[in-house]
Amino acid sequence: MFKVHAIAPHRLPELLRVMPKAELHIHIEGSLEPELIFALAQRNGVTLPYADVEALRSAYAFSNLQSFLDLYYAGASVLLHEQDFYDMAWAYFEKAKADHVVRAELFFDPQTHTARGVGMDKVIGGLSRACRDAQTQLNISADLILCFLRHLSEDDALATLQEALPWREHFIGVGLDSSEVGHPPEKFARVFARAHELGLHVVAHAGEEGPPAYIWSALDVLKVERIDHGVQAIHDAALMKRLADEQTPLTVCPLSNLKLCVFKQLADHNLGQMLEAGLCVTINSDDPAYFGGYLNENYLQTFAALQLNAQQAYKLAANSIEASFAPEADKHRWMHELKLCFQGFSEQD
């Protein structure tokens, strides 16, 4: 077990900033900043129902998940060409580099685009080209996870998976996102079984707003490897025990939970309690352009609000690396870099 030395509290923000980390829950369409939405709208001749960047940004006041999703899908309407998808992902990777992200697993929502007549080749082509360039130009390891929109039918999800198969080599897994309540994981049993057969990784949003029962069925019916969000598990002691025993990673997104009113204030967030209970918790940004911060901002604000320490910083970064779907050799190297980073900090004290 790696020993983490205490670090003076005033140096913790710098440690959080520079420690190597993985981001496992980022919807790439949720990284579209208002400036880029307007630039792409102009480039593509799309008319937006907002006068300017400021008017759009001032609409970012959400009361729940659905109020956000309505705006998020509207923002994605400016994406038409392969280059648009590339530019969106590249802007994210530049932010990720500044946050010392060594590994990023990007969710994308093909149905949001194919329903508007945008070809799957444009979507996956642009995103996967950006992932390749992230590796060669920024030394960020990046892969794609195709998400099904759970407010649509399972037949639509099955057709989407089939349509994406010519690009099978360009995504590593499938996920489940969009409006949670009323759309339980078991609605997607067949498409997830198919994904398993294809050797894809499988994850699902569960317990963001939905009940613990959705986390149980994501585990038991969909047989997911990670739970996205999962914060509602706190209301079910048996589930908490199972998640701790099985070390199922949870990709928690504190600023998202705050902006979507899952918690009234960040100080009320249960991330500290879940860590305390021995769950494999990670910190992620979800939709950073909409929720007020990229990955480091999530770490910084959460640590300040919950008064977390260096030991917990190490645990969260280590969890993110270990819970990633990267090759074992890469994980091993990043864990070594993480330890060196913490050692360097303790030696300066």
Any bridge partners for residue 226, and if so which? 203
Nearer to ligand ADE, 99 or 208 (CB): 208
- Edge-to-edge strand order for the sheet containing 250-252? 21-27, 101-108, 141-149, 173-177, 201-206, 226-229, 250-252, 281-283
Select the binding partner of residue 208 from Zn ion, ligand ADE, none (C-beta < 5 to 8 A, by kind).
ligand ADE
User: Within 13 A of 139's CA, how many CA atoms are on the CB side?
Assistant: 8
Any bridge partners for residue 22, and if so which? 103
Q: Which residue has the tokens 């995103």?
A: 127
Nearer to ligand ADE, 67 or 343 (CB): 67
Nearer to ligand ADE, 178 or 320 (CB): 178
What single letter denotes the amino acid at residue 185? P
Interface residue with ligand ADE among 286, 297, 308, 323 (CB under 6 A) is 286
Select the binding partner of residue 65 from Zn ion, ligand ADE, none (C-beta < 5 to 8 A, by kind).
ligand ADE
Interface residue with ligand ADE among 27, 95, 103, 259 (CB under 6 A) is 27
Question: Could you give the 3-state DSSP secondary structure of residue 286?
Answer: strand
φ/ψ (deg, to 5) at 7: -125, 140
Q: How far is the CB of 310 from Zn ion (least distance, A)?
A: 28
99 binds ligand ADE (CB under 6 A): no
Rounded CA separation 188/221 (Å): 9
Q: What is the DSSP string of 105-129?
A: EEEE-HHHHHTTT--HHHHHHHHHH
**How many residues bind ligand ADE, per CB under 6 A?**
11
Nearer to ligand ADE, 20 or 30 (CB): 30
Interface residue with ligand ADE among 183, 205, 269, 331 (CB under 6 A) is 205
Interface residue with ligand ADE among 82, 99, 287, 297 (CB under 6 A) is 287
105 binds ligand ADE (CB under 6 A): no
Q: How far is the CB of 69 from ligand ADE (least distance, A)?
A: 6
Q: Which two tokens stand for residue 242?
A: 């199972």
Nearer to ligand ADE, 200 or 204 (CB): 204
Contacts of 60 (CB under 8 A, 6+ apart): 71, 259, 290
- Which residues of the chain form contacts with Zn ion (CB under 5 A)? 286
Nearer to ligand ADE, 27 or 122 (CB): 27
Select the binding partner of residue 201 from ligand ADE, Zn ion, none (C-beta < 5 to 8 A, by kind).
none
Catalytic residue chosen out of the listed positions 33, 208, 209, 297: 208
Examine the residue annotation and report whether 208 is marked as an active-site residue of this protein. Answer: yes
Q: Find, among 75, 165, 166, 66, the residue nearest to 113 by Cα.
A: 75
Provide the greatest CA pair distance for the chain: 58
Tell me the residue ranges of DSSP E strands in the chain: 21-27, 101-108, 141-149, 173-177, 201-206, 226-229, 250-252, 281-283
Active-site residues, by number, are: 208
Residues interacting with ligand ADE, by CB under 6 A? Answer: 27, 30, 65, 72, 177-178, 205, 208, 256, 286-287
